[in-house]
Amino acid sequence: MTTTELSAPHGNVTDLETFRTKCANFLDQHATGISVAETNDPRHESTHHECVAFQQAAAAAGLAGLTYPVEYGGQGLTDAHQQIWREEASKHPL
């Protein structure tokens, strides 16, 4: 087994680097921080709408359900992809 196989069971390191770039670019554009309304929104409906909009954008970009099987609507990616998403997301105000 090569280092590449250890790093990425279903692809090479370049694929993971490309995926990391895709995640970072998406998050730079969309993860601007979700505000919690302080007044006149006791049910936090505006916050809910911001969360839904973010999730819809992530799904449209192919960045939702990363490790779920394709047959169930997921991306069918690896745990390495999920870890990359988490690392990049941790750098943004979600």
Could you count the other beta carbons within 10 Å of the beta carbon of residue 93?
9
pLDDT tens digit sequence for 2-39: 333 334 444 555 699 999 999 999 999 999 877 665 66
pLDDT of residue 28: 95
What integer best gives the mean pLDDT of the chain? 83
Over range 41-60, report the average pLDDT.
86
The three-state secondary structure class of 57 is helix
Q: Are 52 and 36 in contact (CB under 8 A)?
A: no
Q: How confident is the model at residue 77 (pLDDT cuts 50, 70, 90)?
A: very high
Over range 36-54, report the average pLDDT.
77
pLDDT of residue 69: 96
